[in-house]
Structure 1
Amino acid sequence: MFVLDVRTANAHYPGIGRYTFELARALASITELTILHNPLYHAPEMDVFTIPAKRVAVPHTPRSLEQQWVVRSRLQRLNATLYHSPFYLMPFAPGVPTVVTAYDLIPLKAPDGFTARQRWLYRLAHQLAFNAAEHIITLSQAARADFIAAFKLPPEIVSSVVAGLPAHIQPQTASAVQSFREKYALPAQYLLYVGSNKPHKNLPKLIEAYRALPASAPPLVIAGPEDERFPEMRRAAEALGQRVRLLGRLPDSELPAAYSGATLYVHASQLEGFGFPVLEAMACGAPVACSDIPVLRELAQNAAVYFDPRQPASLTQTLQETLESPSLLTALRERGQQRARYFTWERAAAQTLEIYTAVQNTK
């Protein structure tokens, strides 16, 4: 019996939760699956009760001490043959063959915003998770290489499995885009970034680069949760007045229209584990300009233009040259949509099931 832990499928873990929920739905369509869920947390957009799988309640979060023995007990009672945790905070002695998904090493590679204690705990918890696991899944080859190097892992126990896209992430009609623009008082053309303002997202440098563009350039729209511990982005944005618009976190239902209406999607992050907004932008037909880092090169390939995220001048030049070339913008839209079609949850589920079967057969 394969058991997937979906307790992260809620608003507290938006990115990991979406990965877990979509993977569970796709897996349940091709194999018999049992899911562990937390009945105390419910997210309508990630409704685990819509997953066609056997459900077992575990009323403890992945950050609780109780999960260490409660999950193990549930797995024993189920006679589970494999347990998959999509989060590194997991039972560290689950008692059955285990697969864990690991995402990135951002707290270790970009320590700004993290205390020494947080970084130490992040490394320790990952090490404990890896000690408990027979196999580790990452979402990119770049992340796979990072984890192998940082934790001295045998390469054969770490696999890269691409993620997919939610069904609603697709190009929107002109009327849907117009409604979105009217709601947020946006002009017909705008640059877009979707994500947080955490230091590794590099937003102060993005705004610095944007500031060097002509005043006639489309406004820069920043959509995503704002962490008040990092006020640099807001200060830089407010210095440019209406040239930079801060929308805050958008509802999931509005993201496709935001992407579809963008003249150019810009992602200046210094580090990523995968880069979901870049993939979502491509899927919705937005041209993409992004950081020249391994994970985004792997993700977008020839469907984006690239810049050095450490150099605002490189970013400014890339933005200006791209905005001044209608033919390039058209080509990026076409290449992006073609590239995005590769990333499906059906593919992710099939690759994940192969790992489950291999791990189960070796125990």
Structure 2
Amino acid sequence: MKIFFDHQTFSQQNYGGISRYFCELIAGINQPSSEHQAHLSLLFSNNAYLKEKSLRAWPFFPGQPFSRTQPYLYRLNKAFNLLEMQTRSYDVFHATYYEPYFLDRIGKHPVVVTFLDMIHEKYHPVFPELAADHLVMRWKKQIIERATAVIAISENTKRDLVDYYNIPPERVRVIYLGSSVAVDDKAMEPSATAPYLLFVGNRGMYKHFRPFIQAIAPLLRSHQIRVICAGGGGFSSDETTLLRQLQLTNLIEQQPINDDSLRELYRRALAFVFPSLYEGFGIPVLEAFACHCPCVLSDRSSLPEVAGSAALYFDPENPDSIREAVGRILDSPDLRQDLIRRGRERLQQFSWEKTVRETLALYRDLQ
């Protein structure tokens, strides 16, 4: 069976959970022992995960700001996709994002689309940035009407998808994700508990970084505990002003990351904190489990579904709830060790191998 993956995600991000997912899926399908073949139709990309998985693409002005080059990159890759759709043989088309540009050219080929979250639908009235990206919701509606099969990456995402687009639940198959970051248990050297909490990824909008920091500021000052923000870019002027007002300038820092440095940050942290209002799945939770890092999580969306009883939860819109949860994790080494143990056990339910296996089963059902 030949599966055609389009360019979209790899034309839109150099890092991130969506492209990580598709890289792992494509590479998993293309294992030497596999009877199936996944083709990624991509001419140019600076995505960091492609090289890791031996997926080819030409670099596209990597020294230039991505915001400047991305529109041209996207148009070139889209044109290349449309050409390859006419010249290559394939059995299934799997879209890597929601633009339905291919629907008029797809013919009778089965179309699969993965719904990663419903953030635009749920939070566009709250965050103007999401409302401005109105095309995404229009695209989703068009593509879901034509898709042969729909994947959701959590039961929570499936429920939201069914509710917002009024589609039969049986049209949606839930396939969980995995973790690409892990530590070697045998190679782990003993280390003193590091005096920091770890925040990973983007900090804007529904990620709820600002209210979270405001809630825990008294704890950070009294315990002299740092927060390390891994990835997500440097602090904005608004964030810098906030940290200065809260007297946290010396306690909160941002660090660029790669997989190796992220692994070490998880491993040495007191805890991973995730105050997000909405996640389609939450890959960082599995990364923390894999790196023996206790998790303190928002009790919203898919996070309780993924972490189960292996995390400490708080209401992200209640400052007292946030402070109480973070205070408990700071004050109790026994609780941290218990969550590490529970996280290792919970992680056994998720793997990229399982993601690949269940996705191939879905493809076969379309034949």
TM range (shorter): 0.7 to 0.9
Query: Residue 352 of structure 1 corresponds to which residue in structure 2?
Result: 359
Residues 176-215 of structure 1: pairs in structure 2 closer than 5 A: 188-213=194-219, 215=222
CA distance in 1: counterparts of 2:209 and 2:57, whole angstroms? 42
Query: Residue 176 of structure 2 corresponds to which residue in structure 1?
Result: 162
Deviations 1:95-142 (A, max 9, x none): 211101111121232221426442x21111111221231111111110
CA distance in 2: counterparts of 1:117 and 1:311, whole angstroms? 28
* Count of residues in Structure 1 that have an aligned counterpart in Structure 2: 345
- In the alignment, is the contact (CA less than 8 A) between 2:208 and 2:277 conserved in 1? yes
* TM norm structure 2: 0.84
Is there any run of 5+ residues in structure 2 with no aligned partner, and where? 61-69
Alpha-carbon deviation of 1:236? 2.4
- In the alignment, is the contact (CA less than 8 A) between 2:314 and 2:321 conserved in 1? yes
Query: Residue 66 of structure 2 corresponds to which residue in structure 1?
Result: none
Alpha-carbon deviation of 1:39? 2.6
| Identical aligned residues as a percent | 26
User: Which amino acid letter does the alignment assign opposite residue 21 of structure 2?
Assistant: Y
- In the alignment, is the contact (CA less than 8 A) between 1:143 and 1:295 conserved in 2? yes
Deviations 1:296-344 (A, max 9, x none): 0001001001000001110001111222122111000111122122211
Residue 274 of structure 2 corresponds to residue 267 of structure 1: yes
CA distance in 2: counterparts of 1:340 and 1:234, whole angstroms? 36
Query: Residue 65 of structure 2 corresponds to which residue in structure 1?
Result: none
Structure-2 change in CA distance of 1:115 and 1:137 (3 Å): closer
User: Which amino acid letter does the alignment assign opposite residue 84 of structure 2?
Assistant: R
CA distance in 2: counterparts of 1:299 and 1:258, whole angstroms? 21
Query: Residue 21 of structure 1 corresponds to which residue in structure 2?
Result: 23
Query: Residue 67 of structure 2 corresponds to which residue in structure 1?
Result: none
Query: Residue 184 of structure 1 corresponds to which residue in structure 2?
Result: none
Query: Residue 163 of structure 2 corresponds to which residue in structure 1?
Result: 149
- In the alignment, is the contact (CA less than 8 A) between 2:42 and 2:81 conserved in 1? no
Residue 122 of structure 2 corresponds to residue 109 of structure 1: yes
Deviations 1:26-74 (A, max 9, x none): 12223411313323224454228726xxx899x9989856777753553
Query: Residue 47 of structure 1 corresponds to which residue in structure 2?
Result: 51
- In the alignment, is the contact (CA less than 8 A) between 2:182 and 2:290 conserved in 1? yes
Residues 30-109 of structure 1: pairs in structure 2 closer than 5 A: 30-43=34-47, 45-47=49-51, 50=54, 64=74, 71-90=81-100, 91-93=102-104, 94-95=106-107, 96-109=109-122
User: Which amino acid letter does the alignment assign opposite residue 20 of structure 1?
Assistant: F
- In the alignment, is the contact (CA less than 8 A) between 1:192 and 1:262 conserved in 2? yes
Alpha-carbon deviation of 1:155? 1.2
Deviations 1:133-157 (A, max 9, x none): 1111111110111111111122111
Deviations 1:68-104 (A, max 9, x none): 7753553343332211112112523322111011111
Structure-2 change in CA distance of 1:194 and 1:176 (3 Å): farther
User: Which amino acid letter does the alignment assign opposite residue 283 of structure 1?
Assistant: A
